[in-house]
Amino acid sequence: MLESRCCIDRLKSQPESDVRNLGESHIMPTAKTLSILLLIALVGSSSYWLYHSIDTGISYSYLHNEAAESKRMLRVAVTVNLEVANTESGRAEIVRAESASGSDSFERDGLV
């Protein structure tokens, strides 16, 4: 009881503005601190969205290139299969069909 009375007497002896500042500093952050935190959040959020946008663009670019390569390989496979299905076609015709479709011929162990 004596201890609380000393604290009350000490607060009464201080000017009113000091008492108000003492109570507010522990409860609510200042406007400057809040502004800094909001600025950090804004920069962090913008950095994340910039990274995400660039990453998505690069991913779509790789996806587009792979789709174009798959389309080209499918065209080669269909052309070569049509030549192979023709019973009169020889090795030279198959190689010519493959090179006409825009790809280099690949031979291994005598097979095209």
pLDDT digits (tens, 9 = 90+) for 51-80: 999 999 999 999 999 999 999 888 888 887
For 68-94, give the secondary structure using H, E and C.
HHHHHHHHHHHHHHHHHHCCCCCHHHH
pLDDT digits (tens, 9 = 90+) for 23-40: 555 556 788 999 999 999
The model's pTM = 0.49
- Nearest alpha carbon to residue 95 among 73, 112, 110: 112
